[in-house]
Amino acid sequence: MLKKILIMLSLSLLATLAIDYLFYSWAIGEGKDLSWHAYFALGLGLFFTFTVTAGLSMLAFTSARSGLDDEAHNAGNSEAS
């Protein structure tokens, strides 16, 4: 489990750096320059967005594979009968 989390964080960091570099290259090409504060904030926002998205996706897949969703669905059907 820890290995999966470390891989997820590494991929999130790599994707964040790649997108941040793309924004930097785009801004330089347009002649617009942002301060390093803006790039740092953009990088943090992207990193946490990717990390939260990956974490929630991991929780959804784990929940579906463990059968907890089936138990909740069956419990709802037995109460209605």
12 Cβ contact list (under 8 Å, min separation 6): 47, 50, 51, 54
Q: What is the pLDDT of residues 4-16, one digit of tens each?
A: 888 888 888 888 8
63 Cβ contact list (under 8 Å, min separation 6): 69
Residue whose C-alpha is closest to residue 24's, from 14, 36, 12, 15: 36
Indicate the pTM of the whole model: 0.53
User: Whole-number mean pLDDT of the chain?
Assistant: 80
